[in-house]
Chains A and B, each alone.
Chain A
Amino acid sequence: MTHYTFTGNLFIDTCLSILITYWPSLLLGVKTVLLIAVSGTVIGMMIGLIIGGLRAIKVEKGTYVYIIKWVYNVLAKCYIEVFRGTPMMVQAVFIYYWLKPTFGWTPIIAGIFVISVNTGAYMAEIVRAGIQSVDVGQTEAARSLGMTSGQTMLNIILPQAIKNAFPAMGNEFIVNLKDSSVLNVISVTELFFQTKSIAGSLYKYEETFFVSAIIYLCLTTITSYILHLIEKRLNNTRTSFPSSSTTEMLVKKASKGVQR
């Protein structure tokens, strides 16, 4: 590695030199982190919506559907408990080696799988809490109009639940950006894995990991800013009314008043 001199401060110069020399492998790490975090969160969200959504549906007692629902509840609870109750690093190693003979998968695919399934368990609880936060009157109104519990869930409850749960879901995404680092144990070439390799070959741990920390921090800061924007938009979609139709109406009323 060529050592560049920028500031005269040895620590900072070494960091910058690492960045300049090794940016391609660091970039690969960042790309992998983003790939894993985005796909893991999206797939996890879908798992959570399905599992959490089904969990929140209430079934009348004494029907055969009730028994199916009961079995489902037990299975869902087991899934959530297992994946929230064991470290993701352990899950990654176990699932990767356990299913490798069956699927013959690469570390990255296994990594996305593990993150998705793990996120799914958290998301299921987030979705359930989101659903519970929706006023019970919404369900009653929909049911009183003759909508089925499925239609009520899809059209009325879930849209509101997702909006309520969005901050918690976004939080999961940020957690995944950082937690993708544990996948280095199954040699996924994400940022931590790349950093470790560079640091090992240079024998400069402090500087390399400092660079890495800054990159992680940039990723999470930018993400939380974007999430904040989306959140604001979600809360504003229904407030476009006053600026369009109401003002129009007010203007009309006002002009009528002038004519009189």
Chain B
Amino acid sequence: MSDCVINVIDCRKSFGNLEVLKNINFTVDKGDVVCLIGSSGSGKSTLLRCINRLETIDSGQILVNGQDIYDRKIDLNHYRAKVGMVFQSFNLFSNLNVLENCIIAQRKVLKRSHQEAEAIAMTYLKKVGMEQFSHAPSTQISGGQKQRIAIARALCMNPEILLFDEPTSALDPEMVQDVLDVMKALANEGLTMIVVTHEMSFAKEVANKVIFMDKGVIAEEGEPNEMFTNPHNQRTKEFLKRIIR
């Protein structure tokens, strides 16, 4: 219990009359790689966005390091700086070049000096193999490269947790592997990650916990091997049958 980083308790969320999250409970330990799988509309992305407070939950609690993130007293921007997020559509700042993308939040949020921020940015750009593109405009590189830069941008903030919202869904098949390799390396370094994904092979290989969501509830959760070879839930079986051929 001591190294439990995220604790989601009885979370509910509706958009109007549509209940997207119904009574969600799960925990993430330090260093865990948790993959959220399930068909579209099952609430995976919403759950992830609630953890970063891009959406607000209607009831329940989300504890991060034991602290309720919906408490009015917490410094939201400080909290978000510690929880990185990588988006399906990359969302690189299109008015800035690659390096500036990685620097701006370090300067504005962490108040790092320009030299320090640039050095850190270059370290992480190197890590994702994009250092030679540091002065490229962020609008003129391919999707896979954009996503690697988005990961570097999040890493520059030295996050404790990294959230991935379908990071490879908008990529060409060829590019997917580059991004997954970067994510695998991060997982091996012990970064806590929650990944919404349709890449079952990635989930099988890297995750130590897989959560299958269906219609706003967690239908099944468990070890990836157990889950993929011997799913207990009928819906999980159907989903996996359709996705793994």
Interface residues of chain A, those whose CB is within 8 Å of chain B, are 135, 137-138, 140-148, 151, 155-156, 159-160, 163, 238-239, 241-242, 244-246, 249
Contacts and interface: CB of A to CB of B under 8 A. Distances in A.
Contacts of B136: 241, 245-246
A102 B92 CA distance: 51
A74 to B, nearest CB: 26
A144 B91 CA distance: 11
Given A138-B91, A241-B140, A143 B54 contact: yes
Interface in B134-178: 135-137, 139-140, 150, 153-154, 157
B95 A159 contact: yes
B54 A147 contact: no
Given A137-B91, A144-B80, 20 more contacts: A141-B85, A141-B93, A142-B105, A144-B54, A144-B84, A145-B80, A145-B105, A145-B109, A145-B153, A146-B81, A146-B82, A147-B109, A151-B109, A155-B108, A238-B95, A241-B97, A241-B137, A244-B135, A245-B135, A246-B136
A144 B95 contact: no
A146 B157 contact: yes
Nearest to B82: A146
B132 interface: yes
B137 A145 contact: no
B236 interface: no
Nearest to A152: B108
Contacts of B157: 145-146
Contacts of B201: none
B202 interface: no
A138 B138 CA distance: 12
Interface residues of B, number: 34
B91 A141 contact: yes
Interface of B: 52, 54, 77-85, 87, 89, 91-97, 104-105, 108-109, 132, 135-137, 139-140, 150, 153-154, 157
B91 A135 contact: yes
Nearest to A242: B140
Contacts, number: 83
A238 B150 CA distance: 18
- The interface centre, meaning the residue of A143, A144, A160 with most chain B CB atoms within 10 A of its CB, is A144
Nearest to A141: B91
Can you list the 6 inter-chain pairs with the closest CB atoms, starting with the nearest?
A146-B81, A238-B137, A141-B91, A145-B105, A137-B91, A144-B85
Contacts of A155: 104, 108
A155 B136 CA distance: 18
Contact of A146 (B91, B105, B132): B105
Contacts of A246: 136
6 contacts: A141-B92, A144-B154, A146-B157, A147-B77, A156-B95, A238-B140
Given A142-B105, A155-B108, A137 B87 contact: yes
B166 to A, nearest CB: 13
A148 B91 contact: no
A147 B97 contact: no
Nearest to A155: B104
A147 B108 contact: yes
Contacts of B84: 144-145
A234 B178 CA distance: 33
A238 B97 contact: yes
A244 B153 CA distance: 24
B8 to A, nearest CB: 18
B80 A143 contact: yes
A255 to B, nearest CB: 15
